Amino acid sequence: LKAVIIDDEPKAIQSLIWELSNFKDEIEVMQSFTDPEEALEFLASNTPDCLFLDVQMPTIGGFQFLEQLDQINFAVVITTAYDEYAIKALKHEAIDYLLKPIDSDDLKETITKIKKHSDRFLSASKLENMLLNFNSKYDKKRITINTDGKLLFLDVDDIIYVESDGNYSTLFLQDQKKLVVTKKLKEVDAILPEHYFFRIHNSYIINLNKIKAFIKNEGYVVMDSNHKIPVARQRKSDFLEKL
């Protein structure tokens, strides 16, 4: 198991690392931080199996830290010297709560919980990948989207266009419905069938079958929903070939 530790007290980090060294065959610390901002940057591109998180920190508190994460796909263990935060820890879906100074027996039980959490997450990921692969192989007109803890199966004909919003993407559907997913536009692009969709701009993917008009002199397309989508200059020739 790969662990990350966040605590504003270096001595507390050293103490926890020492305690975890007693279980080195089961868990190792991949990184530790006294600055929550640096930890946020790290977690944006790295996924540990678990996070040991102090509650009371001067810049960003532990629970505030969790609220700033786009997604939490690892086990969270709250560490603190005060027992008054236990209920709040549960509300933030922490799998365990350790009081400082951390007891070795308590830590052993926590590691067992982390293992179970990781196994469940791995099983869910395997199932999702199986469904994604099934759709991509056997049904070219449907895609599978993971959102809000559930898998949605969408007919590609229902998607008019997709718009990027940083780490999120919004799918604009028929009947003026919208679906926000925690995927970057390139990730959505990877699961959309090329025959039907084209990334017309850094911020947009369009359904080629849903184009109402192409205004060449102004450089945009009008979709069936009457939304105007810009055509990036560097993509214009490829777009015309697609048409």
Give residue 43's pLDDT band: very low, low, confident or very high (50, 70, 90).
very high
Query: Is the predicted pLDDT of residue 137 greater than 50, yes or no?
Result: no
Distance in angstroms (rounded) separating the CA atoms of residues 16 and 12: 6
CATH class of segment(s) 2-127: alpha beta
Note the pLDDT tens digit of each residue in 165-199: 888 899 999 988 899 988 889 989 988 888 889 99
How confident is the model over 116-141, as a mean pLDDT? 57
Give residue 121's pLDDT band: very low, low, confident or very high (50, 70, 90).
low
Q: Are 10 and 25 in contact (CB under 8 A)?
A: no
pTM over 0.75: no
Instruction: Specify the DSSP element, H or E, that contains 143.
Output: strand 142-147
Distance in angstroms (rounded) separating the CA atoms of residues 110 and 78: 11
Note the pLDDT tens digit of each residue in 211-235: 999 998 999 999 999 999 999 999 9
In this structure, the strands spanning 96-99 and 28-33 are: unpaired
**Domain-wise residue ranges, the chain:** 2-127, 140-242
Provide, rounded to the nearest whole percent, the portion of the chain with pLDDT above 70.
Answer: 86
What pLDDT shows up at residue 97?
87
Q: Do domains 2-127 and 140-242 have the same CATH topology?
A: no
Number of residues written out for the chain: 243
Range name among 53-62, 85-94, 193-202 with the lowest pLDDT average: 85-94
Q: Domain spanning 140-242 has what CATH number?
A: 2.40.50.1020
Local structure of 221: helix, strand or coil: strand
How confident is the model over 25-48, as a mean pLDDT? 93
Distance in angstroms (rounded) separating the CA atoms of residues 211 and 233: 18
Give me the sheet containing 197-201, strands edge to edge.
178-181, 168-173, 159-165, 204-207, 197-201
